[in-house]
Amino acid sequence: MYDYIDTSVTDGVARIELNRPNQFNALNRVMVKEIVSTLTMYDRDDEVRVLMLTGKGRAFSAGADIDEMVSETPISLELLNQFADWDQFASLKKPLIGAVHGYVFGGGFELALCCDLLIAAEGTTFAFPEVNLGVMPGAGGTQRLTKLIGRTRALRWLLTGERMAVDEAKACGIVIDVVHPEALESEAHKYATTLAAKPPLSLRMIKDAVNYAVDVPLREGMGYERKNFYALFASEDQTEGMCAFVDKRTPQFKGK
């Protein structure tokens, strides 16, 4: 059905696997469109509560497809408007878990930074090698990395193009957990199913408020958080969650 990805849904978790292993899952434009359109579709699917992104073969992704970019010009890039696809990652409402391994380079690193939580296999390396190609990151790398790890550390990796080991990525807060490569899939799925059992509207409002916090002053963010907090009191899951606590039973959340 798709040329460059595989998809499946299990236990409320939609899994999208990059499937271009012979090119280390280098991201061509069709592939990015496939990733974005399936994530958007699952984001609106009531059967799906959590999204998961992973890569087939020896790498999560070695970045944007260089062969596709080599002859571009400013005008061709402007007319392509490929970042309109990338911008849609920021509109996803459900939690997106990335399970990464091998190389997470360039656009692949930018794709990983679009995930809400990243779990990495031992031996994973991260890099922004664009500087060695005479360009720079263009899909959010300078912005998201800086907001996540701070200006000086971001500049270190972006200016040098050096490879960051997974332990460093964990120390910087880029990944939440490092696991044995053979356990990557199961550990990521475990995280995802844990979240899938939570009330979906709470997850949605929490992600929304945290994303807001990245861009606004504290006072404004506090007001925004409060509105989301109040809104959840209109949900059936708020009644269910609190009554279940009082009744000492396990809540059954419906996402309403």
Does 57 participate in binding ligand CO8 (rule CB under 6 A)? Answer: no
Provide the 8-state DSSP code for 165. E
Cα gap 30→93, rounded to integer Å: 23
Residue closest to ligand CO8, measured at CB: 106
The answer to the question of residue 24 lying near ligand CO8 (CB under 6 A) is yes
Distance CA 37, CA 31 (A): 10
- C-alpha to C-alpha distance for 192 and 190, rounded to whole angstroms: 5
Q: Which is nearer to ligand CO8, 20 or 49 (CB)?
A: 20
Site track 71-90 with ligand CO8 (rule: CB under 6 A), x = hit: -----------x--------
Q: Is 26 an interacting residue with respect to ligand CO8 (CB under 6 A)?
A: yes
Q: Where are the beta strands (DSSP E) in 64-218?
A: 96-100, 103-105, 117-121, 125-127, 164-165, 177-179
Measured distance CA(106)–CA(65) in Å, rounded: 10
Shortest Cβ 220–ligand CO8 spacing (Å) = 30
Cβ-based neighbours of 4, under 8 Å, separated by 6 or more: 18, 19, 20, 28, 30, 31, 34
Task: Specify the amino acid at residue 8.
Answer: S
Q: Which of 17, 130, 185, 237 binds ligand CO8 (CB under 6 A)?
A: 130
* Binding test (CB under 6 A) with ligand CO8, winner from 4, 42, 89, 105: 105
130 is catalytic: yes
Q: Which stretch binds ligand CO8 (CB under 6 A): 5-13, 21-29, 197-205, 223-231?
A: 21-29
Number of residues located near ligand CO8, criterion CB under 6 A: 21
Q: Which residues bind ligand CO8 (CB under 6 A)?
A: 23-24, 26-27, 62-67, 82, 103, 105-107, 129-130, 133, 137-139
